[in-house]
Structure formats: structure tokens, C-alpha cells
Structure 1
Amino acid sequence: MKNLLKTPVLWYKSGSPWIWLNGGAVTLCMLMVIGLLGLIAVRGFGHFWPANIVLTSVTDNAGHKQIIMGEVVRSEVIAAAIARDNGYKIPEEQELLNRYLIKLGNKDITSRDFMWVLENGMDAWQYPRDAVAIERREWGNFYGYLVSINENGKPLLTQDAANFWPEVDARMKRALKLHDDIAHIEKVRIGGINNAIQELKLEHRRLELKGVTGAKMAEAEAGFAERKTALEAEYEVVKKERDVILHEATRDQLVAKTADGKEVVLPLDHLVRVTRPNEMGVFAKTGDYLKRFWEFMTTEPREANTEGGIFPAIFGTFIMVIVMAIMVTPFGVLAAIYLREYARDGVFLRIIRISVYNLAGVPSIVYGVFGLGFFVYYLGGNLDQLFFAESLPSPTFGTPGLFWASLTLALLTLPIVIVSTEEGLSRIPSTIRQGSLALGATKSETLWKVVVPLATPAMMTGLILAVARAAGEVAPLMLVGVVKLAPALPVDGNYPYLHLDQKIMHLGFHIYDVGFQSPNVEAARPLVYATSLILVMLIVILNVTAIKIRNNLREKYRSASD
């Protein structure tokens, strides 16, 4: 009997309950994380699947019938009493009913993009095989039927022609190629010419500020005028080339009609995609899905960020984190080395360490306010006065931009790097230091050739934590360089190639903007989920890369530490 009573007590004292409790907690957390990511993936990436187009009609309380065509986004069950309170005639014996959210598109015609429809008064659903979904660069999607292809305003082919759909696909590909050619000319070639002309103006302004006058100034102005004339001549040639392509791009139009018979003319240069999802099989839809997802990852946003892609936000997040890591790593490592290896232990050192620990708990928005006031207005303003006076009153670095956003995040994550590096240095056995000194190495040689290499895994751990923290921050970035829309990347072919003064987009702020500032909530909802998962994936990729480097360093120096 006593042994039976002792068994639970011994089991409790052995520590096994705590092992099981910790294991269960970790498992629960992992399940919650996987479930959250799964929910985000399903709701976000399901947006790119080409849904079938539904045709039905709804009769309202007054007996008026409305024809509806579009995509069924989702459905839900509501209490019939709610519908009665809103004026719908629902039988008293009915307690529940379904309602469907249908994406109508045709916003330029109906002034509404989505519509909730009750199942009561709704006719049976039909799936017309010739119904088309047309993705446009403006006004969202169009749902209806194609009537004909026009060339220069004149009918060329009608919908009943045998080669109608192949011709639509061919002309759509042509229009997309011409659109890309125009975009390349405007962004790269014309953009380069405009940048060169602006540089000429700045060079002239620099000479004026230096007080250059007389023959030297006249000679410089003559050179500026000659170069400007050459640039303007080049611009005229490029502009004519652009105008020819633009004229070619506006050649073709599609004539379409809505479900209720209204005809509209859709220029092909304003379209992105023409599909017939009701006729597409699983493999065709899968190919279209992958194409849409790739466009989401590699194109610019449109329609107040509710259409198009997120590539500028992906690139802005990536380049900002990289610049931040380049700045925070040396400062954090050197500060940790000084505090651990050189600073004398005392009250002052303890105060510094406590301050570093407290800095890690300061709200991020405080760093944003500090970055705006000190980095942007003070340092940036002084830099403009010293090095970019010719650009004033237009600021160069005296305005929020990539460099200040990265520097603010570096300051935000600096305590993380310092603490992690200090812990790594403290774990290096003293016998290794003593052995190095006994062999005749100086203290600095021991530190930089023995101790620091052994502590590099801890430094990488600090960098991993810093990257994870920085990539997900939003509040401070709104003040120091991140904006709603900045399709121009901070990297281009114009000197100095990486423009640290340029404003950028960021995935975290993009999620906030689309989720809370969008004028079209239903259109933005799936993009919030998709962008959130892309942000998580980007953080995972950066962290996995850093973890791989850390593990390689750990294996390299394992034998030395043993």
C-alpha cells in the first residue's frame, strides 16, 4: 500500500510531469501556428483560382427581376428575422436562410462591385459556357459575353466566327507585349533621359553656388546646352518610337455585352486577361492559377492596391532588411565586444547594460518618432545643406526614405544583437583565452582570432532575431520612409544605382493599408491574407538563410570550442 502511494509522488518529483507539460505546450503552439498559416493560405491563395461565372436572377419584394452575373465569393447562413427587419418578405415559418456574396464586377456600369443576395427569390444558377471574365487595369473585372473584335473602330470578327477565340488570345498576347514595351521605354529609356537632364540642372546649380562666373561659367553653360540639346533630341526619337507603339497598342478593341444586354467597348491595351472559366478544365485552371499567382508576385499594384501585384512591397521589405542588417551587425558586435572584453566592471557598466536591456522594451513607435526628428529632420537636413545644397529647397535626405527606415530599424534591433553577442562571448571558456595568451598571442589577437570566431554563432542568432523583428515592424516605418504606393524600385540603372533617399513600399504597411484603408473591403480581403503569407514566407527565407550560415559556423568551430 505504501509503495502505491509513493509511486505518484516519486513520478511527480522526477520531473516527468513538467516534461510532458512543456512538450504539450510546444505541440499546441505548433498546431496553432500551422492552423493559422493554413487558414491564411486557403483564404489568400484561393483568390487566384479562376472561379466559375454564375448567371441567375433575383426578384425583389416589388416583383422587379434583376439579372446577376459574377463569381460567388462565399455564402453564410443568417436568421430569417434579420432579413425581415430589413424589409424582405420571408415566410414566418422559415427560421434560417442562406445568402451569397457575389462579385458582380462591371463597376463602371453598375457602380457596385459586390452584392449580397438572399436565396429567397433567386432563380436556379446557370453557368453559360461563353461567359467571359475580363481583368482590366481600371474598374476591376468585367463579366459578360464577347460580341466581336474591332480593329481601328471597325468590326473584324464576330463571336460566331470559327477562329474568334484564337484571334482573341493572339491579339491579347500582342497587346500585353506592346504594353510591356511601352512601360520599358517610359521607365528605362525616358526615365534615364529625364534623370540625365535633371543632373545637368544640378551641375549648373552647383557651379552657381560655388560662385563660378565669367569665361569658365560661359564655357560650362555652353557644354550644358550642348548636352541638353543632345538629350532632348534623343528624347524626341524615343518619344516617337513610344508613340508608334502606343498607336499600335490602341488598334484593337473588344465589344462585349453585360448579362442584361448593355454593350461596351473594351480597348485591349486596358486589359490584362480574358478567360472563359466555365469552359476551362482542372489543368487549364491550374495553369491560369499559377500565372495569376506569378503576376501577383512580380507586378505592381493597381486600383488603390486592391488589384495587381505586390513586387515593390516585397523588394522594399527585402532591401530594407538587408541594409538594416549591414548597419546593425558591426555596431552591435563592436558594442558587445567592448562591454564584455574591455569595459571595467562597475556601476557605470551596469547602468549601460540596464539601459541596453530597457531599450529592447521601448515601443517601436517611439523609435519612429525619434527617427523622424533626429535622423530625417536633423541629420538629413544637415546632409542636404552640406552635400545637396543644389537640390534645395527640394530635400534629398531631409525627407523620409529607405536609408532612414533602415537606420531606425537598426537602432530598434541593436539591443537584440548586443545581448546575443555578449551571451555568446560569455560562453567561451576562459581556458581558451588563457591558452592563447600562454602561446604568446596578445589580447587583441586572442580576441579577434580566437574568441570572436567562436562567438559568431551567437552573433548570427542575434542577427536572426533582429531580422525577424525588423521585417514585421510597421509603426515606425510609416514615419521614416514607407509609403502607400511607390512602384519605382530603389534600385535602377541610374547612378548611384541604389537610391537610399527613395521612399519604398513594405509588406507590413501594405497589409495595413489594404486591410484598413481600402475603399473596397471585399476586394481587399483575400489580398490581405495572401500578402500576410508572403510576408511570413519572406521572414522564414531570411531566417533559414541566417540559420544555415550559423550552423555552418557552429560546425566549423565546434572542435575548437571542445
Structure 2
Amino acid sequence: MKTMKVSFTEWTKSGSPWVWLNAGAVAICIIMVVGLLALIAVRGLGHFWPADILQATYSVNDQKTRVIGEVVDSENVPAEQLRDVGVNVPEGMEFMRRNLMKVGNRDVGGTDFTWVLANNLSEQAYPEMLFAAERREWGNFYGYLRALREGDTIVKQYDGYEKTPEHLALWEAFEASIDRALSIHEEIYKIEKHEIGAINHEIERLRLQERSLTLKEVNDPAPYSKIEAQRNQLNAEYEGLQSQLLALYNEINRDSIEAEVSGGQTITISVAKIVRAFRPNDMSIGDKLGHYASKIWEFVSDEPREANTEGGIFPAIFGTVMMVIIMSVMVTPFGVIAAVYLREYAKQGFTTRLIRIAVNNLAGVPSIVYGVFGLGFFVYFLGGNIDRLFYPEALPSPTFGTGGLMWASITLALLTVPVVIVATEEGLTRIPRAIREGSLALGATKAETLWKVVLPMASPAMMTGVILAIARAAGEVAPLMLVGVVKLAPSLPLDGNYPFLHLDQKFMHLGFHIYDVGFQSPNVEAARPLVYATALLLVAVIALLNISAVQIRNHLREKYKSLEM
């Protein structure tokens, strides 16, 4: 059998090299994306694992101190650099290993993290009774539990370091005290956030009603008396809730602990300030997995604390999803109507071509330009006029004359509407002319043909435009910084107070949360892992929104596939 030889020129002309080149480029892109996601996942999700706590003696220039903390990072440092700052480095050593340790106890030492030279650590151990406590203030605490107090009375105490029945009994009493404080804290949160929050909302509404009557120069005392009666009733309810709160605060502040830190001194911590306490050196793999799951759940379901470096990011998740949903509801009809007009009704000429060029150019305008436009036109012009026309009683405090959820959603809808227009118009172009003519021949009007035949068949293309709009809008940050997003929103824009959805309210956003934690946080080392975790969650939220839209598009495509054949 004769073997045919193909020359390099013929092989090149066949197109095979370009096929392999494209395949290689796609493979490299996939590897880079998967690698990036893996890096984000490892650095972000690893933050929630309960790492073991190291206790060691640290020697620097003949001075010895005890250090307690978690090793979170490690790197090699040139020996000359260490000699320049006065560290004794053995001769002949070019590099030394140093570890970044999270030592916590910021209220004692002033910092959460410190660098230590690995070669200078001795007597390293992982004592089983070393504990970590996550606090509502001052970050983590690391040390040994010494005593539990109820008021001024010591309930249990222990002065040793070993794991003994007495020490375990003290620890169990401490855990029971934390559970008690957490249950009281939930009651306090419910009263302050919901019940008192609703009363404050109603009192403010009554104040605005009274001011409205004053501005309208209403002299009839009846409406004023009705408002005053409602206010008195609300004030009475408020006083009752305040009494409950005072009793709960006395209850929650009853217990405290005494704990020994790395320097040997003993400090007192209120149990009410502790979110959770655990002994990672004495935890099994199952215990650590349970702790890890609870931390992940806290991250996605709780509110932030400690300048956004601790706690959860649920308000940011909620704000991002709510803004994207409102944006999608606004951008879809406008984009579809514009595309239908350009393709089905507008006379195809110079003006139409000019409009299409303008739409395509709008898709390339930097997002910050849309933010400036939204701030000037939507917030200051439209919002200011809305306040003067419909909310004069609230002035000079703005209602819609400041950034909020509605203006942010409209700004992003304006930013993404060119994408929906182009995708929908391409979908309308792919529908055969024969289908339109067949519908008209059967007696349908042009409007009926468009509504019942053309638009359903073009709906997958519309969903493609919405998917692209969601993908772009969910990750935008620059325009939102001007039209409504904030670092910390005390309440969600959706609650039980009328009108339930507060479009004028500022909100949190995952993208801005990443920027704030990564670049504005005073505690950089504590914030770094949360940047990765939040970035991973933002990717997951965008992917979930896109997958939902893709499923709808695929369903519509299968539904109307028979009409295209």
C-alpha cells in the first residue's frame, strides 16, 4: 500500500493548523478560567476551616516571648533584609523562612497579625485546651479559659493548662453561657430590628402626614388629633418594648469570662460579645467539618460585622439579586420594543442605519459614564423634581433625590439595553419571511402576526440578550458607586413595612463589597480571604442567574422549534 505524503504547503492550505491553533487557544482559556476559579475557591473557602492553634516560644535577639495563634501564610525572606532591621541571622544563610501568624487579641496587642521567623520558634505545641473565640468587636481571641462569672460571682474556674475533667466542666459551662447569650441576642435583634423598626417607620410616616397637612394649611383639628392619638399609641408600644430591651440587656450582660492571653496576663470578656468559641486542637475531622459548614452558612446568611471583615454578606447578596431582577424587568420590554420597531416598522434607510450605529456605539461606552449620567439626570434632575412634586413634606431630606435601588437599576438598564436590542433584532432577522406571509395570508393582522407568531419564535434571542445583560450588570461597580450602593446598609430594601419594596433605599452590592473590603479595610490581612470568598460567591450568583435564564431560553427554543422547520 502506497503512503501519500502531504507537503507543508498543502497541509497549511487545508486549514488543519488553524483548527489546531483555535482548539489550543480554547483549551488554554478553559485552563486559565478553571485555574482562576480554583485559586479563588482555595483561598476564599479555606478561610472558614478551623485551623489548629500553635503555641511556641519565639526568640529574637536573646529575648523570648510566648506566641499563640494560627499560621496563615509563609514566605522566604533574604537574610540581608533581616540584618538591615537588626535581626541576628546565622552566617552563610541566604534566606530565612517567616510565618504570618494570626494572633488575634487586638484589644490587648493592638494588631491581629504578626510575622515570626520559623527558625526562631521553639517548644512548638498544639495544646488541646487552647481556644479561639469569635467576637462581635476586636476580632478573634486566642488563649486559655480561666474562669466563668455570673455577675460578680465566680461559677467555675481552673488555673492549669492540661485537659482535665475540671477544665472540661468549665468549658461546658462556658458553652452553655454562650448559647444562652445567643438566644437572648436573637430576641434583642427581633425587637430592635422588626418591632421597634416598624414603630419607628410608622412614627416617621405620621410625622410626614402632619407636615403635609401643615404645608397645605389645613386648619381642621380633626386630622391632627387623629395623628396625635396614633402617635401616642405608638409611643406607648415603644416604651413597652424599651422596657423589654432593658431587661434583656441586663440578662445578656450577666455572664463574663476570665481568659489568659499569650503574654500571661488575664483579661475579662463579656460572653455577650462572643459569637462562638471552639478548641480546634481538640476537634475531630467530623467536628471541623460541622464547624466549617456552620461558618459557610453564616457567611451567606448573616450580616457583616467588624468593618465587613467578619460575619456574613447576606445584605450584599440580596441587594445584588434584587437590583439585577429589577434591571431585567426594566430593560427587557424597552429593548424588545426598540428592536421590534427597528426591524418590523421603521423604514430601512439612512436614519435607521444611523440609529443602529448609535446603539452599537452605546454598548462600548465606559460604565462610569452611565454612572455620571445617572447621577446627574436620574438622581438630581428626576429625583429632585419627584421630591418637590410628591414628597414636599420630607424636604430638605431627599426621598428620590439621592441614590437608591431604583436609580441604580435604571442606570444599569440603560447600560445594558443596547445588548438586548442587538440580540433581539438578530433573532427577528433569522425568522423566515415565509412565516410572516403565511400568517398574513390566513387573515391575521400585522400586529397579531408579530405578537402571536414572530415574538414567540424570537423569544430565545430575547433571552440571550437578557443573559448577556445580566452577566454585565451583575458585576458592574463603578456606576453603582454614584447612584445608590453603600458600604453598609442597616436594613434590606424589602421588608414588612409599607410599601414593602423601598426603591428609594440604598443597598449593598457584592461587587462594591469586594472593592470596599479589599481596598478600604483598615485590617488588610483579615480582609484578604474575604475578598476571595466574596468574589467566588459573586461568580456563583452570576452563574446561577445565567443558568436560570439559559434554562428558560432552551425551553422556549424547544417549544417553538417546530415552527422554524
> Quick check: TM above 0.5?
yes
Cα 1:121/1:327, change in 2 over 3 Å: same
1:174 matched residue in structure 2: 180
The answer to whether the 8 Å contact 2:518/2:528 transfers is: yes
Shift of 1:3: 8.4
Shift of 1:96: 1.6
1:184 matched residue in structure 2: 190
Shift of 1:17: 2.5
User: Residue deviations 1:28-50, cap 9 Å, x none?
Assistant: 11111111000000000000000
1:80 matched residue in structure 2: 79
Separation of aligned partners in 2, 1:242 and 1:403: 35
Structure 1 residue 507 corresponds to structure 2 residue 510? yes
Shift of 1:164: 2.1
Shift of 1:55: 0.7
Separation of aligned partners in 2, 1:425 and 1:319: 30
Cα 1:157/1:535, change in 2 over 3 Å: same
Shift of 1:161: 5.4
Cα 1:162/1:258, change in 2 over 3 Å: closer
Separation of aligned partners in 2, 1:163 and 1:131: 15
Equivalent residues in 2 for 1:86-97 (5 A)?
86-97=85-96
Alignment counterpart, residue 544 of structure 1, candidates 544, 547, 550: 547
Q: Which amino acid aligns with 1:108?
A: D
User: Residue deviations 1:434-455, cap 9 Å, x none?
Assistant: 1111111111111111000000
The answer to whether the 8 Å contact 1:336/1:421 transfers is: yes
Cα 1:528/1:333, change in 2 over 3 Å: same
The answer to whether the 8 Å contact 1:336/1:419 transfers is: yes
Structure 1 residue 58 corresponds to structure 2 residue 64? no
SS of equivalent residue, structure 2 residue 277 = strand
Separation of aligned partners in 2, 1:385 and 1:514: 37
1:154 matched residue in structure 2: 153
2:387 matched residue in structure 1: 384
Structure 1 residue 206 corresponds to structure 2 residue 203? no
User: Residue deviations 1:492-517, cap 9 Å, x none?
Assistant: 11000010000011100110111111
2:170 matched residue in structure 1: 164
Shift of 1:163: 2.6
Gaps of 5+ in 1: none
Alignment counterpart, residue 334 of structure 1, candidates 334, 337, 352: 337
Shift of 1:211: 2.3
SS of equivalent residue, structure 1 residue 163 = helix
Alignment counterpart, residue 497 of structure 1, candidates 497, 500, 504: 500
Shift of 1:299: 1.0
The answer to whether the 8 Å contact 1:468/1:539 transfers is: yes
Alignment counterpart, residue 436 of structure 1, candidates 439, 462, 466: 439
Separation of aligned partners in 2, 1:45 and 1:173: 26
The answer to whether the 8 Å contact 2:303/2:314 transfers is: yes
The answer to whether the 8 Å contact 1:182/1:242 transfers is: yes
Equivalent residues in 2 for 1:407-486 (5 A)?
407-486=410-489
2:29 matched residue in structure 1: 29
SS of equivalent residue, structure 1 residue 125 = strand
State how many pairs are aligned.
557
Separation of aligned partners in 1, 2:513 and 2:23: 37
1:404 matched residue in structure 2: 407
Q: Which amino acid aligns with 1:25?
A: A
Shift of 1:19: 2.3
The answer to whether the 8 Å contact 1:57/1:67 transfers is: yes
2:12 matched residue in structure 1: 12
Q: Which amino acid aligns with 2:512?
A: F
Structure 1 residue 197 corresponds to structure 2 residue 203? yes
Separation of aligned partners in 1, 2:7 and 2:184: 81
2:289 matched residue in structure 1: 286
Structure 1 residue 258 corresponds to structure 2 residue 264? no
SS of equivalent residue, structure 1 residue 499 = coil
TM-score by length of 2: 0.97
Structure 1 residue 239 corresponds to structure 2 residue 242? yes
Alignment counterpart, residue 368 of structure 1, candidates 367, 371, 375: 371
Structure 1 residue 229 corresponds to structure 2 residue 232? yes
Question: Percent identity over the alignment?
Answer: 59
User: Residue deviations 1:169-221, cap 9 Å, x none?
Assistant: 222111111111101100100000111111111111111222211xx2x1111
Separation of aligned partners in 1, 2:88 and 2:524: 28
Q: Which amino acid aligns with 1:22?
A: N
Of the structure 1 ranges 470-479 and 147-156, higher mean CA displacement relative to structure 2 is found in 147-156
Separation of aligned partners in 2, 1:561 and 1:35: 40
The answer to whether the 8 Å contact 2:518/2:527 transfers is: yes
Shift of 1:8: 4.2
RMSD: 1.3
User: Residue deviations 1:397-443, cap 9 Å, x none?
Assistant: 00001100011000000100000000000000111011111111111
SS of equivalent residue, structure 2 residue 114 = strand
Separation of aligned partners in 2, 1:327 and 1:555: 26
SS of equivalent residue, structure 1 residue 497 = coil
Separation of aligned partners in 2, 1:404 and 1:553: 31
Q: Which amino acid aligns with 1:127?
A: Y
Separation of aligned partners in 1, 2:168 and 2:462: 67
Q: Which amino acid aligns with 2:193?
A: K
The answer to whether the 8 Å contact 1:507/1:535 transfers is: yes
2:114 matched residue in structure 1: 115
Of the structure 1 ranges 8-17 and 296-305, higher mean CA displacement relative to structure 2 is found in 8-17
2:46 matched residue in structure 1: 46
Gaps of 5+ in 2: 159-165
Shift of 1:4: 5.0
Separation of aligned partners in 2, 1:488 and 1:162: 40
Q: Which amino acid aligns with 1:66?
A: T
2:125 matched residue in structure 1: 126
1:143 matched residue in structure 2: 142
Separation of aligned partners in 2, 1:13 and 1:460: 39
Q: Which amino acid aligns with 1:199?
A: R
Q: Which amino acid aligns with 1:321?
A: V
The answer to whether the 8 Å contact 2:145/2:171 transfers is: no
Separation of aligned partners in 1, 2:347 and 2:213: 53
Structure 1 residue 277 corresponds to structure 2 residue 284? no
Of the structure 1 ranges 137-146 and 86-95, higher mean CA displacement relative to structure 2 is found in 86-95
Q: Which amino acid aligns with 1:196?
A: E
Of the structure 1 ranges 18-27 and 247-256, higher mean CA displacement relative to structure 2 is found in 18-27
User: Residue deviations 1:148-168, cap 9 Å, x none?
Assistant: 110012100123355322222
TM-score by length of 1: 0.97
Q: Which amino acid aligns with 2:26?
A: V
Separation of aligned partners in 1, 2:414 and 2:174: 55
Q: Which amino acid aligns with 1:236?
A: E
SS of equivalent residue, structure 1 residue 21 = helix
Q: Which amino acid aligns with 2:135?
A: R
Shift of 1:547: 0.1
